[in-house]
Amino acid sequence: MNRRRLAVLLLLVGAAVGFGARLDDMALRDSMMAKGPLLGHRWLEKNGLEDYLLRQSWKPTADSGLACVGRWSYGPSLKVSLRVTADDTIICLTRGSGASLIRFRSQDSVTLDLLGDVNFAGIPRRAILSDTLVIAGIHSGGTGLEVHGVSNPAQPNLLSRVDLPVVNDIAVKDSLVYVACEDDTLRIYNIANPRLPVLVGSCCDSCDLFMTQAGNYCYLVHVSGVNIVDVSNPASPHRAGHIGGEPLAVYVRDTLCYVTLYQNGLCIYDISDIGSPQLVGSLSRPDAMDLTMAATNDTMLYTSLLDAISVANPSSPVLVGHVDRVASGVAVLPAPSCALLAVDGLTAVDISNPASPRVDTNAFSAGSAVDIALDGTKAYVGSYHSGLAILDVANPASPVQLGGLDYVGDLPSCLSVEARDSFAYVCWEPGAQFRTVDVSNPRSPVLTGGDTLFDRPQDMVLRDSFVYAAMNRRLQIVNVARPREPVLVGSCVIQGIGVDLVLRDTLVYVSSLPTQVINVRDPAAPVIVGTIPTYGHGIELRDSFAFVPALYDSMVIYNVQNPAAPVRVGRHTFSGGHVWNSGVALVDRLLYVGGDIVHVVDVADPLHPVEVGTWIPPYETRRLCYAAPYLYAASYDAGVCILETVPTGLEESPEKGGITKEVRLSPSVTTGRIAVETRSGPGELTLSLYDASGAKVKELQASTARSGIRLRVELDLSGFPDGIYFVSLKGKDRSFTTKVVKTKGR
C-alpha cells in the first residue's frame, strides 16, 4: 500500500475508532479531499460508510435568501469525451461542476478553442458529448441524470433532469443512457426525446468508480471486481459475468477486456466466453484510472498515466513509452496521433511516436477552489493542485478567466490568497510558502518574491502594508511594503490549526481550537490576549460580538467587549439539521455561513439571531467573500458561485430593469439618489425601502385626489451601506417591487 493511501486510510480508521461522531465526519471529509475526487468514496465503502455518499445527493430546492447569478464552475478534470467527424473534432472535458466544449485543431501544434461551457446542478463523474447533446451523471450535490442541448455550444440549455441517487458513472450508446448508481443499481434510459428520458430497464448490480459499454454488455468497476451486465435486451439487463480483484478502470475491444487492478497493474482477459473470463496477460504498472485505444488501432493501449503499451501480443504486453502525468481520463485521436489527458485541465500529448510521447499543449487548468479574494472587478481564486486563477467578474452572470498561474506537473496548491492593485499574495506549494505574484498583466501573472513561513497559511488578511497569515500552530505577519521583497516580521504560537481569521482594529481573531484573540498593535511582537473555547471553520465580528459557526449545526455567540475574557452569550441552531459549516462573511446586519448549506442570518440583534434564508451550493463552500453587491463562494470542486440576496417575502415584479407601463425607477444602480415615477390613481401610495434581509428601512407616502397625475418620489440612499435593496410601491389597485443596488462607484 503506498504511503499516501496508507496515511489517509489510517486517518479514516482512526477517526472511526477514537473520535466522536462529529470529528469522525471531519476526518472523513479531510481524507476524501486529500485523496481527490475519485478514490475517497471507495474507502468509505470498504469501511462500511456508504451512507455518507448517499446523503450527498439532494434535489435543488426553492431556496430563499440567496440566488446564484453566475458561476465559474471549474474544478478537477475527470474525463474526456470526443465527437469526431470528417470536418471537426469537439472535446467535452468534464471538470468540476461543469463541462467545457472545445474545438481541437492541429497544425504545427495543437490549438484548443473554447466553444462553450455547460453548468450542472452538482459534480459529475462524467459528461458525454453525443451529437448535439451533453449527458451528465451527477455524483454529488445534484439530482442524478442531466441532458443539455448544445446545438449552439455558446448557449447550452437544460432539456431534462432525472432525480436519482448518487451517480457513479454513465455510458451512452445511440439513444440509450446507462446509469450506474451508488444504491447498487444499473438503470437504462431512452433519450430519443431528450426532453423526456424514459426508464426502459434496470437491475441490481454494483459500480463504485467507472463503467464502460461495449457490444451487448456494460462493464461495471467495483471494489469487488468488474461486474459484467448483459444489456442486449434493455428492458431486462442481468449479470452475465465477473472479473475478480480490485479494479480501477476497464476498457473492452472485441473479445479482450483490459483492466487496471489496484497494485496489480494491467491485466488482459479473454472474454470470448463472457461467463468465464480468462486471464491471458499482465504488465506491472502504476495504478491508472482510465484506459483507451485509438478507433483505428487495436495494438496500442494508452492509460491515464500516459503509458503507451503495445498489446499486439495480449499474452505479453510491453511498455513502449511514457509521459509523467497523473490524469483521471484519457482519449486518443487517431489523426493526428494525439492523446488528450484530463489532468487539472487538459493536456494534449503528441503520440505519433509512441516510444517517445511529447507534451504539446496544456490548457483549461482548474482545481478545487478553496479561497477567493476580490479587488475591483477581478477575483483571485486559490485552489488545490492548480495554483491561482484570475477572473474578470465585471459581468457577474458570466465570469471570464483572464489568466492563471499553474506550473503543469508540479500540482501547485494555493490555499489562501489576498490581492490589491498590481500584486496578489498567495500561499504557494511547492517551494516558498508565501509568495508575491505580479498581476499587473492578469493574462500573464508572474511569481516574484517570497518568504518561507512556519507552515502553509490557511487564511490571510491584507491591511495597509502587512499580511496576517493563520496556519498550523502559528499566526505570522509579513511586511509587504515592498511587494517584491516580502519580509516576515512577527510570529505568535497558537493552539491547533488556524483556518480563518478576522482583523478588527489591533486585534486578530484566529479560528482554531480554541479560537484565539491576538493583539497585533506591534506587528513584530503579536501576543495572545484571550481565547474563545469553540472550534469552527470561521469567525466574524459585529460591534462587541463574535459569531463562531461550530463545525456542524450551530453557531455560538460571544461578547468580546473584553477580548481578554470573552463571554458566551448565546447559541443559534441552523436549519437543515446535520450540516458542515465552513467560511463566514458579515455584510452589515446579515451573516452568511458557508458549508453544505449557505445560511443567511440576521444578526441585527446579536443575542437573538434570526435565520432569514438558505442556499444549497452544488458542492460545499469553503470560503465566502463579499464585494458589494455580491457574495462569492469558493466551493471546492464546484468552482466559484456568485450570489445575490433575495429576501424572504419579497419578490420582484415580473418586469425587469425597474420599468413597467405605470412605474419607472431610475437609476437601478446608484451611489445615492433614486427616483420613482408613477401615473397614479386616486388615493394614497406607499413607497417602502427594504434592505437585503427584508427589513423595512424607510417609508414615504404620497396621495392624490384624481387619476392620471404623474407622481415623482425621490429616495436618498447615500447614508445606507452598500448592497442590494428592494423598492416596493403599493397603492389601492397596484403593487410593484424592484431591486436597486447601492454602491460607492468606481
Contact by Cβ (8 Å): 82, 129? yes
The DSSP letter of residue 411 is -
Query: What is the DSSP secondary-structure string of 242-306?
Result: EE-S-EEEEEEETTEEEEEETTTEEEEEE-SSTTS-EEEEEE-----S-EEE-TT-SSEEEETT-
Long-range CB pairs of 147-150 (<8 Å, 24+ gap) are 147/191, 147/194, 147/195, 147/197, 148/118, 149/194, 150/101, 150/116, 150/118
Q: What is the mean pLDDT of residues 669-680?
A: 79
Q: What is the mean pLDDT of residues 732-740?
A: 73
Distance CA 144, CA 563 (A): 49
Q: What is the mean pLDDT of residues 337-362?
A: 91
pLDDT band at 113 (very low <50, low <70, confident <90, very high): very high
Identify the top-confidence range among 134-143, 403-412, 553-562. Answer: 553-562
Give which of 287, 36, 237, 233 is closest to 139, Cα–Cα.
Answer: 36
Q: What is the mean pLDDT of residues 171-188?
A: 96
Tens of pLDDT, residue by residue over 375-385, are 999 999 999 88
pLDDT above 80 (res 364):
yes
pLDDT band at 10 (very low <50, low <70, confident <90, very high): very low
> What is the reported pLDDT for 724?
79
Mean pLDDT lowest among 40-44, 348-352, 681-685, 727-731: 40-44
Sheet holding 735-742, edge to edge: 669-670, 735-742, 723-730, 683-690, 696-704
Q: What is the mean pLDDT of residues 578-582?
A: 77
pLDDT band at 660 (very low <50, low <70, confident <90, very high): very low
> What is the reported pLDDT for 57?
45
Tens of pLDDT, residue by residue over 18-39, are 333 333 454 555 555 555 556 6
Sheet holding 338-342, edge to edge: 329-333, 338-342, 346-350, 358-363
493: left (phi over 0), alpha (psi -120 to 50) or beta: beta
pLDDT band at 588 (very low <50, low <70, confident <90, very high): confident
Rounded to 10 degrees, the C-alpha dihedral 278/281/287/291 comes to -80
Distance CA 492, CA 332 (A): 53
The most distant pair of C-alpha atoms in the chain lies apart, rounded to whole Å, by 97
Rounded to 10 degrees, the C-alpha dihedral 451/457/461/467 comes to -20
> What is the reported pLDDT for 49?
58
Q: What is the mean pLDDT of residues 275-301?
A: 93
* Mean pLDDT score of the chain: 85
Identify the top-confidence range among 16-30, 251-265, 690-704. Answer: 251-265
> What is the reported pLDDT for 326?
83
Tens of pLDDT, residue by residue over 498-520, are 999 999 999 999 998 889 999 99
Contact by Cβ (8 Å): 567, 533? no
> What is the reported pLDDT for 52?
53
Distance CA 643, CA 652 (A): 16
Which one is predicted more confidently, 719 or 400? 400
Mean pLDDT lowest among 142-156, 202-216, 619-633, 732-746: 732-746
Percent of the chain's residues with pLDDT above 90: 58
Straight-line distance from the first to the last Cα atom of the chain, in angstroms, rounded to the nearest whole number: 56
Contact by Cβ (8 Å): 282, 257? no
Distance CA 202, CA 319 (A): 39
All domains in the chain, ordered by first residue: 3-54 (no CATH), 71-293 (2.130.10.10), 663-742 (2.60.40.1930)
Which one is predicted more confidently, 29 or 676? 676
Enter the pTM of the model: 0.83
> What is the reported pLDDT for 19?
31
Radius of gyration of the chain (CA): 28
pLDDT above 90 (res 247):
yes
pLDDT above 50 (res 358):
yes
Distance CA 340, CA 105 (A): 12
Helix axes 3-18, 21-35, angle to 10 degrees: 170
